Structure 1
Amino acid sequence: MDAIHSRRRVRRLLLPLSAGVCAIALVSGCSDSNTPSSEPDATASGSAQPGPASKATGDLQSQYQSAINNVLPSVVQIDASESLGSGVVYDTEGHIVTNAHVVGDEKTFKVTVATGERVLNASLVAAYPDQDLAVIKLDDVPDGLRPAKFGDSNKVAVGQIVLAMGSPLGLSSSVTQGIVSALGRTVSEGRSGGGTGATIANMVQTSAAINPGNSGGALVNLDSQVIGIPTLAASDPEMGDSAAPGIGFAIPASMVQTVADQIIENGKVTDSGRAALDITGRTVVNDEYRPAGVAIVSVQNGGAADEAGLRVGDIITKVGDSKVTTITSLAEALAGDEPGQKVTVTYTRGNAERTAEATLGEI
């Protein structure tokens, strides 16, 4: 399990409408015109010539502005009756991809495009809570609707500059910048407050500031490509569950496209690509009341666990080299595996520890 789970929890980036209006203080810096400047006056000796550093800064700024101009028109705000989130225009037919926890149980939505000219109506196509993704569709597609371009997840690298675009705290068309901090994170989302409880593998960790309302928006590289959908932010229990600055997570573009394409074509996800043991279970505790494994409550006939000889009452304590103490840790242990892959399951039956080789099924 990733080390981040021992210190941080994650929270959805959904903004409840009941949160009210956000008050913002704007502070501008200025200098007293009567205070002598320690800097040389560029106009005293003629026009200043840009050096290598200023030229490089200008080039980087141009890349920022180009990416913003290219992608921001494809990022929308989604009003789901009792909450606000963000979405990304997926195609010219009016499909918009977002998070499942943004749509919740709603079927119809109000969508505001980046220009903010008018509010559009949209309807749910389907949600896939296991990956916290959903697709909605505009009822009437406006002229000039611009789909975003999605990047290659295999080319995303740690240190890459990225921009987060969305509607944090209801402030539509907001942009923040940061870098890709890490790749391959496995993160579990809670169920409280409307969360899906999804355990998502291979997430992109970013330092770009993302806040409630950014859910479903866009994490963008400087080539104007969406490389992820911001979904979760870390919170620190030691700070009263307030946001842990600079630690956010986005679902990679490859998974977004895989899920969205299936929903658009079939109205549901038909091939999740997510491994499963084909059981239902519950967390059990030891004599010290600490989580100590997952007890099997039911086994799917002909499923992975059944074929491996596991049965109701067995307590799973490890999958491969990953220790299993809770339902969440079991999901995390399986998140990086694929259907059809063989894994060693360690379990106890009675007082005896045993192992079995299971060929994983699919969620």
Structure 2
Amino acid sequence: MDVSRARAPRPPRSPLPLRSGLPLLPRASRSPLPSLAAVVCAVGLLGGCSAGGGAPAPERSTQAAAPLAANDLEDDYRAVIKNVLPSVVQIDASESLGSGVVYDDKGHIVTNAHVVGQEKTFRVSAATGGRPVTARLVSSYPEQDLAVIKLDSLPQGLKPARFGDSSAVDMGQIVLAMGSPLGLSGSVTQGIVSATGRTVSEGQNGGGTGATIANMVQTSAAINPGNSGGALVNLDSEVVGIPTLAAVDPEIGGGSAAGIGFAIPASTVRTIADQIVEDGKVTDSGRAALDITGRTVLDDAYEPTGVAVVEAPANGAAGKAGLRPGDVITRLGDTEITTITSLAEALASRRPGDEVVVTYERGEETRTATVTLGEM
């Protein structure tokens, strides 16, 4: 897909719905580098004022206040970029290009699992310039699309990022996305937090891990190929998320749906990265599981109708509750299950040890079982 190709204007239509199972495209694949003399970051200008006591403000006051507010916001942007850009890197693998965030002063870099893929060594360049250095994989956790690599040497100028409180992220908050879209190292885009708490599933086509990730931050800041693994930053210079996905629009052949991107929240990033740095792997995922292998079942009209159990070990969560191969799961608690993706999304909001009623079909009979969820 040539994401840099300009498209002709299209007639107005209803907005792209955001729903469970919306196909998403990981944005780490290498794209041709455009020939550009300069990269310009356009920022929005906010302004306006009112006079006290209910009286209309004189026209000259309004004219003076608007540029002042715009200049203040521009100064905020510049300060954030100056503070955070030294914590952002470009990651080159043989088959892909992405971004990363400096996690600590020991050379650990956090990024997306789909950026590192199956590779073990990388070339890392600071967003602020300088010669590339080599890095090696510490561990990858595709189930949450996160990975940690470690620099072989520490170049001057890099500094650890400061991660913010994900619970404080709210709709309407201004955010900046920093990374290497299309190989343009050190690029910055701006937008707002469009929503929080999204559960989304990324496809495996185009290099994705197929992960289902809960509590993601939706943003209007542009996320393009190469932005994956970079930084989504608030105006306090805190990383609040790792840009990972952009929605795709089936009506334009899978092309990106502008202004709909998703970032893994900082709390999840810290949970996974801390374990990898300390133990070399994820020891406690915090992700609930049924402990089955399953496949989507289609009806006579080729519509998905449930998840067939292919394997259910006797010592697993579903097996202990009596489910067995051949059963078709149709509901998890109050959530209808039609596909493997919908089952993964329903589990993403739950924790290991939770009890949930599973509705399933065995032959012509509909049954229920109370399952104590295991851990992924």
- TM-score, normalised to structure 2, is 0.87
- Tell me, in whole angstroms, the C-alpha distance in 2 between the residues paired with 1:303 and 1:6: 26
Deviation at 1:355, TM superposition (A): 1.1
- Tell me, in whole angstroms, the C-alpha distance in 1 between the residues paired with 2:90 and 2:287: 29
Q: Please name the residue that 1:15 is paired with.
A: 29
Q: Please name the residue that 1:215 is paired with.
A: 228
Are the structure 2 counterparts of residues 27 and 177 from structure 1 closer, same or farther at C-alpha, using a change threshold of 3 Å?
closer
Deviation at 1:9, TM superposition (A): 2.0
Q: Over residues 294-350 of structure 1, what are the superposed CA-to-partner deviations in whole Å (9 max), with x where a residue is unaligned? A: 111111232211222111111000111111111111101111111111111111011
In structure 1, the residue corresponding to 2:344 is in which secondary structure?
helix
After superposition, residues 255-294 of structure 1 pair within 5 angstroms as 255-294=268-307
- Tell me, in whole angstroms, the C-alpha distance in 2 between the residues paired with 1:8 and 1:297: 25
Of 71, 74, 82 in structure 1, the residue corresponding to residue 87 of structure 2 is 74
In structure 2, the residue corresponding to 1:334 is in which secondary structure?
helix
In structure 2, the residue corresponding to 1:51 is in which secondary structure?
helix
Residue correspondences, number:
340
The one-letter code matched in structure 2 to 1:13 is R
In structure 2, the residue corresponding to 1:82 is in which secondary structure?
coil
* Paired residues of 1:94 and 1:145 also in contact (CA < 8 A): no
Q: Over residues 95-130 of structure 1, what are the superposed CA-to-partner deviations in whole Å (9 max), with x where a residue is unaligned? A: 000000000011000000022210110000000000
- RMSD of aligned C-alpha atoms? 1.8
In structure 2, the residue corresponding to 1:66 is in which secondary structure?
helix
Q: Please name the residue that 2:180 is paired with.
A: 167
Q: Over residues 268-303 of structure 1, what are the superposed CA-to-partner deviations in whole Å (9 max), with x where a residue is unaligned? A: 000000000011111111121211111111112322
Q: Please name the residue that 1:83 is paired with.
A: 96
Q: Please name the residue that 1:4 is paired with.
A: 18
The one-letter code matched in structure 2 to 1:101 is H
Q: Please name the residue that 2:141 is paired with.
A: 128
In structure 2, the residue corresponding to 1:15 is in which secondary structure?
coil
In structure 1, the residue corresponding to 2:178 is in which secondary structure?
strand
The one-letter code matched in structure 2 to 1:192 is N
- Tell me, in whole angstroms, the C-alpha distance in 2 between the residues paired with 1:65 and 1:89: 20
Deviation at 1:82, TM superposition (A): 1.5
Deviation at 1:54, TM superposition (A): 2.3
Q: Are positions 1:242 and 2:244 aligned together?
A: no
The one-letter code matched in structure 2 to 1:9 is P
- Tell me, in whole angstroms, the C-alpha distance in 2 between the residues paired with 1:25 and 1:11: 29
Are the structure 2 counterparts of residues 357 and 49 from structure 1 closer, same or farther at C-alpha, using a change threshold of 3 Å?
closer
- Tell me, in whole angstroms, the C-alpha distance in 1 between the residues paired with 2:175 and 2:213: 21
Q: Please name the residue that 1:357 is paired with.
A: 370
Q: Please name the residue that 1:180 is paired with.
A: 193
In structure 1, the residue corresponding to 2:18 is in which secondary structure?
helix
In structure 1, the residue corresponding to 2:351 is in which secondary structure?
coil
Are the structure 2 counterparts of residues 49 and 331 from structure 1 closer, same or farther at C-alpha, using a change threshold of 3 Å?
closer
Q: Please name the residue that 1:251 is paired with.
A: 264
Query: Percent identity at matched positions?
Result: 68
* Paired residues of 1:13 and 1:233 also in contact (CA < 8 A): yes
- Tell me, in whole angstroms, the C-alpha distance in 2 between the residues paired with 1:25 and 1:315: 58
Structure 1 unmatched runs, 5+: 29-47
Q: Please name the residue that 2:112 is paired with.
A: 99
The one-letter code matched in structure 2 to 1:81 is S
In structure 2, the residue corresponding to 1:330 is in which secondary structure?
helix
- Tell me, in whole angstroms, the C-alpha distance in 1 between the residues paired with 2:137 and 2:356: 37
Are the structure 2 counterparts of residues 188 and 313 from structure 1 closer, same or farther at C-alpha, using a change threshold of 3 Å?
same
Deviation at 1:27, TM superposition (A): 11
Q: Please name the residue that 1:311 is paired with.
A: 324
Structure 2 unmatched runs, 5+: 1-16, 41-60
Q: Please name the residue that 1:38 is paired with.
A: none
The one-letter code matched in structure 2 to 1:304 is A
The one-letter code matched in structure 2 to 1:275 is A
Q: Please name the residue that 2:123 is paired with.
A: 110
In structure 2, the residue corresponding to 1:87 is in which secondary structure?
strand
Deviation at 1:50, TM superposition (A): 7.4
In structure 1, the residue corresponding to 2:272 is in which secondary structure?
helix
Of 149, 156, 166 in structure 1, the residue corresponding to residue 162 of structure 2 is 149
